[in-house]
Amino acid sequence: MASLRETRKKIKSVKSTQQITKAMKMVSAARLRQAQNRILQARPFAIKMNEMLTHLAGRVILEENPGEQALAPHPLLKRNVSNKVGLLLVTADKGLCGSFNTNLIKKAGEFIAKNKDKEIHFYVVGRKGRDFFKRLGFGIKGEYAQIFSSLSYKHAEIIGEDLMKAYLEDGLSEITVIYNEFKSVIQQKLVEHKILPIERPPKISAQEEVDFIYEPQKEQLLEALLPRVFKSQIFRILMESFASELGARMSAMDSASRNAKELIEILTLKLNRSRQAIITREIAELVGGAEALK
């Protein structure tokens, strides 16, 4: 009987877990639809901003050709020469999303190994990445936890300002971001991308394209556009990562629910077999006792 009680307790426990995983899957699915809509709405703005930036930044003079009459280079387009690099790692605040956080941390470890001879400045989004590197004793220059529950452009502005300040004032040679790009519910692409200095498009010549009359001047436009484009890029990265997290959690909870169902079936079969064995044994004892009385 003790074995039956234990099996029933296991079945009850697995059923409770199954209810939780199903609920988490439904919540993730609902939030994922909202996250996908936000990404689709933000893309036209990002495309148009990049077009404007390309048109202006393509006229930035190269430092080796200072005699050309063109726009002076912006500080975010210049490459600093130093032994310092920056890393922006975008992880999740919560677990239960499969290998989402593990793959990001592993990729960050590879980045550290490649730059072991350099001074790395860490900027970490999400509690999982922050806690991991703090346990290892790494100093974190900027940490941004619990932002995905109410993600907005304001968060991208704060992170963008910190990164631009570090690049311009601390003299970082480059800043790299590691995050998961959303492809589908079951697929996320791990991305390692250099975000500073901003990549400058090829210089546009007069033969390639006719220039326009700008109001205000090109210098003022570029001064205003570059930080805004950079922050919009950070915002897109945060939205991509959040959608990827929800997709990974939805997939993980769906898999957990199916595993729970299979385990319940196995335990139920075990329970029925144990009961059948007990009943058979009791019948055999009754028949044996009846035969002994004859």
pLDDT tens for each residue of 195-245: 998 876 665 555 555 566 667 777 777 788 888 889 988 999 999 999 999
Q: Is residue 5's pLDDT more than 50?
A: yes
155 vs 144: CA distance, rounded Å: 9
Q: How many CB atoms lie within 10 A of CB 65?
A: 9
pLDDT tens for each residue of 140-153: 999 999 999 899 99
123 vs 129: CA distance, rounded Å: 10
What is the pLDDT at residue 212? Answer: 65
Between 66-80, 110-124, 203-217, 238-252, the lowest mean confidence (pLDDT) is in: 203-217
Q: Is residue 17's pLDDT more than 70?
A: yes
Catalytic residue among 56, 76, 97, 108: 97
* Residues 29-47, mean pLDDT to the nearest whole number: 83
Q: Is residue 103's pLDDT more than 70?
A: yes
CA-nearest of 134, 153, 152, 150 to 142 is 134
What is the pLDDT at residue 15? Answer: 93
What band does 176 get if pLDDT is binned at 50, 70 and 90? very high
* Residues 151-176, mean pLDDT to the nearest whole number: 94
What band does 62 get if pLDDT is binned at 50, 70 and 90? very low
All structural domains of the chain: 31-201+220-251 (3.40.1380.10)
What is the pLDDT at residue 72? Answer: 58
Higher pLDDT, 281 or 19: 19
Exposed/middle/buried for residue 289 (C-beta within 10 Å: 0-12, 13-18, 19+) = exposed
183 vs 243: CA distance, rounded Å: 9
Query: Are 127 and 149 a contacting pair, CB within 8 Å?
Result: no
Higher pLDDT, 78 or 21: 21
- Percent of the chain whose predicted confidence (pLDDT) is above 90: 51
287 vs 275: CA distance, rounded Å: 18
What is the pLDDT at residue 226? Answer: 86
Per DSSP, 60 falls in state B
Is 251 among the residues known to form the active site?
Answer: no
